[in-house]
Chain A
Amino acid sequence: MRIGVFVCHCGSNIAGTVDCKAAAESALALPDVVYATDLMYTCAEPGQAAIEQAIHDYNLTGVVVASCSPRMHEPTFRRTVERAGLNRYMFEMANIREHVSWIGKDMVANTNKACELIGMAVAKLRNNRPLYAQRFDITKSVLVIGGGVAGIQAALDCADGGIPVILVEKEPTIGGKMAKLDKTFPTVDCSACILGPKMVDVAQHPNITLYACSEVDDITGYVGNFDVKIRRKATYVDWSKCTGCGTCTEKCPSKKVPDRFNENMGLTTAINIPFPQAIPKRASINPQYCRKLTTGKCGICAKVCPTKAIDYTMKDEIITVKVGSVIAATGYDLMDWTVYQEYGGGKYPDVITSLQYERLLNASGPTGGHIVRPSDGKEPKKVVFIQCVGSRDKSIGRPLCSGFCCMYTAKQAVLTKDHIPDSQSYVFYMDIRAVGKLYDEFTRRAIEEYGTEYIRGRVSKIYPDGNGQYVVCGVDTLLGQRIEVTCDLVVLAVGIEASHGASHLAEKLRISYDQYGFFLEGHPKLRPVETNTAGVFLAGVCQGTKDIPSSVAQGSAAAAKVLALFSRDKLENDPQIAHVNPARCVACGKCIRCCPFGAIKEETFRGQLKAKVIDTVCQGCGICTSTCPQGAIQLSHATDNEILAEVNLLCQY
């Protein structure tokens, strides 16, 4: 074997604390190394050209580059050696930047460690074998989980790109949180008016299949070939017959059902359509409150339904679909703010969440767009908004900023003045975070033109004053004085958390999530849409707090990723996967049980049971290879021999 070693200076990043020239010279003493040199920037074009030239000039059959972490540039150099005619796996990388130069200042010690890392890379490379990827067919369709604005945008963009889309929404209607909003900041345009047409597009697009009232039960498979089980929950209404006429909702006698769509600010009927612009505009029955389903006596909706769509015997239905890619757009939920006992812990009827206030402002909400106090139905004249309820509060384990509360609070203060001109709004804030386009201008307008009183400080407590009003106790930290506001209504800007159940979905999708349930992106800056599972992409707040424009942008970005993936007819797998040596396998089955991807199955080989790795499912994690008591499973490109060669090099002294 003829190996070439290239030691990178990375400007002064490595050369500052490692003697690169000496490291290259020492590499010449290693077995099979026929050429070694140091380069200023190996990843730059001249550096790569030097590698290619050396491969030709010295007939190299393997290349070691000692530079940075392989995370960024291993693919770069693999392409380089491939261009020069080598197999891309006849290349090894020694990380002498993150693991050496950046973490130590002692030039001699650093150079020694760099030499040893280069030695390890050479030792492994001597055991490497060329590997070849396999090509496999893909299903060109995409599953979008979540029908909020991010999911809608992703679905529409994929569908417009000619990809069949399956959109799954757990609620009876798509639209998500945006459908509940009255107006949107900073333009104060009607939320339903801008979202409605997109929702209709979803319903009418020939490439989109919408499953509302449905959840993803199970996902197996791998990029290009996912098998998805979707649970269509029983709605007790045959949606193929229902026309959304609403007769059933008028006649339903069970009228005291908490209205989930209206954030429990009003009551609805046991059979209902969430809101006038719902997509699909179909009725569904809430089995908890339906008299027919609870007591067996009623059946009025079935009698009045002109299309005979009511079916009290309906059961959940599981359907199976094949898709090539998945976009998760599961959005968010509000945290449980009742942990704040100082704000009444939910005891005071006139202390409500901002999302509930949104429903009060909304013309299709429970009050027809009139702001009233839930307790007595009177119009409030003094409204206090409290920001950062459940955000930026380490004491309840939520240090994150929810991102958009500052803006919607300003918007709600503006709308309050529009609805009730003689009202006065007070906003208790810690900082005003208005970083988007035209955002800061909007908050200033709320203060300067609409006379909203912004008070910098947290609220310590809210208590009823006995005369039907509430006293909000806080501080003006700018003035350095304790402040009280007597008000009629308190609106809490409650912090967000990942959608309830997001962590279960993450486990099904085999993607990571953080301690707040938000899905983890591939790279916080450079791969914000991808996940670490190939073929699974993220859109919207499920990845982290975002406002509407950012959610829409990420929805489109996820669609672009899917379209790029599907621009090829076949995909290549990564050949760094496990292989079973049937001669050694004793069919103990330990590997099958430990594989997190279900990539190993039993099969009969020459009359005997043996383990077999499914090439396209294996992710190359290596758990099976370290579990196998016989050493029968080897992970290509990280075989026992390759790893032992590295260890031997280190332990020879």
Chain B
Amino acid sequence: MQDSPLNIVRGRDVSFIKEVEAESGQNVSNCYQCGNCTAGCPAAFTYDMQANQVMRAVQLGLKDQVLHSKSIWMCLSCSTCSLRCPNNIDVASVMETLRHMARRENIVAVPRMDKFWMSFLNTVQAFGRSFEIGTMVLYMLRSLRLTTDVDLAPSALSKGKLGFKPHVIPDGGAKAVGRIFKRYQERAKREGVRP
């Protein structure tokens, strides 16, 4: 809990509400706080702010609080919340928007999660498709969690879920995917946001 009460006239960021609405395409004032998003969220146990509280904080324009929350990083983007919302709000899209905004502001409340994603994207950039062992190794090195989930390796290997060689995409597909990444990185550099 915060020490002093939050003054929602002085402490709120109205432009933040507008930005989130514009970027996510959702009208956050439609949310009437029934809590269905939180009730169905499979990652709720890892959240510091529950999904409905994130929505409420966005309604109130509490930019700092939302962008510093761990929840937006722990979200699985499974879209159960969006599916169940009685007001048809795409809550997952709001969460994703918030994640993008946080990245742009250099706020990463769960660095490990960021490292995992970067590892995944790096393999996709290199090979055009996900490369599980590559992702694993990169993530282990970056996070220094060298033994995380290795107990799952034998069964994954025996089922052929962990190939030692990356997937090959015919007709130069890997290079085409690489070009998409490059274009994005160039644009990010031009617009001065975090790649």
Contact = CB atoms under 8 A, between A and B. Distances in A.
Nearest to A475: B5
B8 interface: yes
Interface residues of A, number: 23
A487 B59 CA distance: 19
B60 A476 contact: yes
Interface in A451-502: 451, 453, 455-456, 471, 473, 476, 478-487
Contacts of A486: 7, 9-10
A393 to B, nearest CB: 22
Contacts of B112: none
Contacts of B5: 473, 481-484
Contacts of A476: 56, 60
Contact of A483 (B1, B6, B32, B59): B6
Contacts of B60: 453, 476, 479
A485 B29 contact: no
Interface in B27-45: 27, 29-30, 32-33
A478 B33 contact: yes
Contacts of A382: 9
B2 interface: yes
B30 A479 contact: no
A476 B4 CA distance: 13
A448 B8 contact: no
A480 B27 CA distance: 22
A476 B57 CA distance: 10
B143 interface: no
A479 B56 contact: yes
A480 B187 CA distance: 40
B24 interface: no
B53 interface: yes
A481 B33 contact: no
Contact of A444 (B7, B10, B32, B52): B32
Contact of B6 (A424, A426, A478, A484): A484
Interface in B48-81: 52-53, 56-57, 59-60, 62
Residue in B5, B56, B59, B62 whose Cβ sees the most chain A Cβ within 10 Å:
B5
Nearest to B62: A479
Interface string A354-397: 00000000000000000000000000001000000000000000
10 contacts: A448-B30, A453-B59, A476-B56, A479-B62, A482-B1, A482-B4, A484-B8, A485-B8, A485-B9, A486-B9
Interface of B: 1-2, 4-10, 27, 29-30, 32-33, 52-53, 56-57, 59-60, 62
Interface of A: 382, 424, 426, 444, 447-448, 451, 453, 455-456, 471, 473, 476, 478-487
The 6 A-B residue pairs with the shortest CB-CB distance in the complex, in nearest-first order? A482-B5, A484-B7, A484-B5, A486-B9, A479-B56, A448-B29
Given A479-B53, A479-B57, 6 more contacts: A448-B27, A453-B60, A471-B7, A473-B5, A481-B5, A486-B9
